[in-house]
Structure 1
Amino acid sequence: MSEVNVKRTRLDWIGRIWRTVSKEPVLAILVFALAVLQVVQPRPWPSLPGLVDWQTVLTLAGLLILTKAIELSGFLMWAAHRLVHHIHGERTLALLLVALAAALSTVLTNDVALFAVVPLALSLHKLAPLPIKRLVIVIALAVNAGSILTPLGNPQNLFLWQTSGVAFGAFVWTMLPLCAALMALLAIVTFAMFRGQALDLSSDVDEHRVDRVLCVISAVAFAAFVFLADAHHVGPALAVLAAGFLLWRREVVFRIDWLLLLIFVLMFIVLRSAAAMPVIHQAIAHLGIDTPVRAYAAGAVLSQGISNVPAAIVLAEFSKDWRALTYGVSVGGFGIAIGSLANLIAVRLSNEKGMWTPFHIVSIPFWIVAMVIGWALV
């Protein structure tokens, strides 16, 4: 190949990468942030993959494969059909999905709950015209609010529970007031955002068939994968899962959101690089978080910049008040989307353009009110 052709091929690749990045605002921000961090506080490029929580990324990849398989089986559309013919109001449906998402997030983690509820909401939208953007927003808020209750609900809870040494039941009892208050607030918000009008089912005229073999195998694999991931065997589990579908139904693997995985990898690198900056540690040490209120406020505010999981890890070095920290980083999951990685998953799963503005119109005021509620309880 001539030198001219080599240069042309390189330019074509650069052009494709640029077009991809420019179409994805989150990806563009992360690439820009990584470039800035590498200038301000450079790290050796080969060390960057070590910042990634590969357990989380591999788990996310497995969940993407399994939810895509369940979607392609037709089960979600069938379930949506049954659901809309038993619930006739838009507001009632929204409240039900919020309750379902919150309940699942207490035991399956907020990310897994999203993979169950958001695709169901999208299937419902295909049957009956729904304000899908608003529906995805309240579902994202629901998994963040519901996951507060238990140590299993989200990674920051698990981390702070393990470092605190308290019993499982004591942790749940401590988090119950905040979880209940935020769920009550979310119920009010959901009631106000959706109308009580009847669902329009005029487009629901097709027969909804289910590929039972694909559905049953995917459901069993889903349960097995979550169990193995929880037991820290996600690598072998994902390898078997991906190989099985590539040999049997390769379209399942090919049609998942690969860009979401890339965004998560970059997010871990950028957020952990930022959290490790001496200026952040010095600022926290200078402020002093030796009182419950300060520890709570630090968790709620710092999460807006570096997400609630890194915030919990950083702040745990400065305060042993696990209750105040857990309250703070829990509230920090609302507000700016970066506050919780579950927000990013919800928006990406919706596949709706222009989601970020309406999301923040709802989530930022919700965070402000949640801040006041948490402060009162702390």
Structure 2
Amino acid sequence: MKRLKIFFTKDLLFTVSFLIAIISCYFGTFSLNSIDFKVIFCLFGLMLFVKNIEKLGLLNYFAEKMIDFSATSRSLIRNIVLLSFFSSMILTNDVAILTLMPIYLTIIKKFPAMENKIAGAVLLIVAANLGSSFFPFGNPQNLFLFSYFSLSTATFFEWALILLLFSILVLLISFLFIKKRPIPKQTNLLPIINKKKMFFLSLIGLFILLGVFNVFPYFVVIPIASVLLIVYDKEMIRQVDYKLLWTFVFFFIAVGNFSQVEMISTFIKEQFTTTTHTFFGSILVSQVISNVPAAILIAPFTDQVQTLFWGVNIGGLGTIIASLANLIGFKLYKEYYPTHSKKFILQFTFINLVFLICFVLFFSFLL
């Protein structure tokens, strides 16, 4: 009993998602179709891959390089946040966070007295969510909307460009609130990287990305890559955050079950009939069940595609569960700073709400 208590109280997000999934089974019939297995498979493969390159010393290498390019704490945070923003367009928001957050955390470990550490991590997550909105494959909700409504490429980019330009503007303004402190010159030598191991891991990483981008079937590519990584280093299988994977599974189950409730379906159908209702409604729903399930849930009940697109992408801002990518960033930060969970949640919520208000005010004029 004591072990069970520790297990469930150590990670409250996991516990809450588990309870919600259990409760939802009362309202709907559980179906495996509710679970997005691609997300689960890809997350597992990527986490296993990142753990391996972290052990190789590659993250430390990139951290040192990033420090060399930055003279102050503000420029350091700005550089990695903008890198997160632009790389997420191609890598997707999940992959950008999984790749860059460990590098950022490796950097700030070198400067214990550095201010705005949490703010930098939050901005990195925000940037990944916003940047990934520019391409159809940048995040799951856009890929779904692009396919479901058979959007033309020109139409999609017309909507996305407005979001992109305003995102850059707000991010640049946000950097002004980061304290500008000089970074001490580093005398550490760059870590020596085993080139053969790096080449092997690079091939595996490329292999995983081919699965993420649907070049090859993910259910074939990811298991093969994972087996190769486990054979390469058996210890890494223990380093994967399985609670995060189950948290995603529980959220998928809950959304699938609740969406079967006729009262909820009827309510959604009645609400999402106008541009204003669709915009604000999709943002609000995203805050509760995250933006990917929100897009899937609302799409069949509305013809307001543009405002739904803006709503679910902006809706990734706000609560910690507004985007599943937020959970990834939080869990990674918690691994490095286990005692900072409450501080992180508070700062995350505050910064995200400020961003959310800015975006809502701006896009309200475009409706």
* TM-score, structure 2 normalization: 0.92
Report the alpha carbon displacement of residue 207 of structure 1 after superposing the two structures with TM.
5.2
Contact 1:275-1:311 within 8 A present in 2 as well = no
Aligned position for 1:222 = 205
Match of 1:246 among 230, 233, 243: 230
What is the distance in 1 between the residues matched to 2:106 and 2:270? 50
Aligned position for 1:356 = 345
Superposed, which structure 2 residues align to 1:360-375 within 5 Å? 360-375=349-364
| CA separation of 1:91 and 1:300: change in aligned 2, threshold 3 A | same
What is the distance in 1 between the residues matched to 2:260 and 2:79? 41
Contact 2:269-2:302 within 8 A present in 1 as well = no
Match of 1:196 among 180, 202, 211: 180
| CA separation of 1:190 and 1:165: change in aligned 2, threshold 3 A | same
The AA in structure 2 aligned to 1:200 is P
Contact 1:67-1:116 within 8 A present in 2 as well = yes
Match of 1:25 among 7, 12, 34: 12
Report the alpha carbon displacement of residue 15 of structure 1 after superposing the two structures with TM.
3.7
What is the distance in 2 between the residues matched to 1:138 and 1:157? 21
Aligned position for 1:138 = 123
Report the alpha carbon displacement of residue 206 of structure 1 after superposing the two structures with TM.
5.7
Pick the structure with greater CA Rg: 1
Superposed, which structure 2 residues align to 1:1-378 within 5 Å? 14-39=1-26, 41=27, 43=29, 47-129=30-112, 130=114, 131-192=116-177, 194-201=178-185, 205=188, 208-231=191-214, 233-287=217-271, 289-351=272-334, 352=337, 353-354=340-341, 355-378=344-367
What is the distance in 2 between the residues matched to 1:21 and 1:187? 40
Contact 1:110-1:153 within 8 A present in 2 as well = yes
Report the alpha carbon displacement of residue 42 of structure 1 after superposing the two structures with TM.
5.1
The AA in structure 2 aligned to 1:302 is V
Contact 2:282-2:298 within 8 A present in 1 as well = yes
Report the alpha carbon displacement of residue 139 of structure 1 after superposing the two structures with TM.
0.5
Deviations 1:316-336 (A, max 9, x none): 112122211100111110011
Contact 1:21-1:28 within 8 A present in 2 as well = yes
Report the alpha carbon displacement of residue 119 of structure 1 after superposing the two structures with TM.
1.2
Report the alpha carbon displacement of residue 110 of structure 1 after superposing the two structures with TM.
0.6
Contact 1:76-1:119 within 8 A present in 2 as well = yes
The AA in structure 1 aligned to 2:325 is A
The AA in structure 1 aligned to 2:3 is R
What is the distance in 1 between the residues matched to 2:296 and 2:188? 52
Report the alpha carbon displacement of residue 150 of structure 1 after superposing the two structures with TM.
1.3
Which segments of 5 or more consecutive residues in structure 1 lack a partner in the other structure? Answer: 1-13
Deviations 1:34-74 (A, max 9, x none): 233234x153xxx4544211111000000001111111110
Report the alpha carbon displacement of residue 201 of structure 1 after superposing the two structures with TM.
4.5
- The percentage of counterpart residues that share the same residue type is 24
The AA in structure 1 aligned to 2:175 is T
What is the distance in 1 between the residues matched to 2:92 and 2:321? 18
Report the alpha carbon displacement of residue 17 of structure 1 after superposing the two structures with TM.
3.2
Deviations 1:288-314 (A, max 9, x none): x22222221121111111111111112
What is the distance in 2 between the residues matched to 1:281 and 1:348? 32
Deviations 1:196-250 (A, max 9, x none): 1111346x53652223222221122111211123225222222222222222211
Is the partner of 1:337 in helix, strand or coil?
A: coil
Report the alpha carbon displacement of residue 168 of structure 1 after superposing the two structures with TM.
2.1
The AA in structure 2 aligned to 1:116 is T
Contact 1:70-1:214 within 8 A present in 2 as well = no
Is the partner of 1:148 in helix, strand or coil?
A: helix
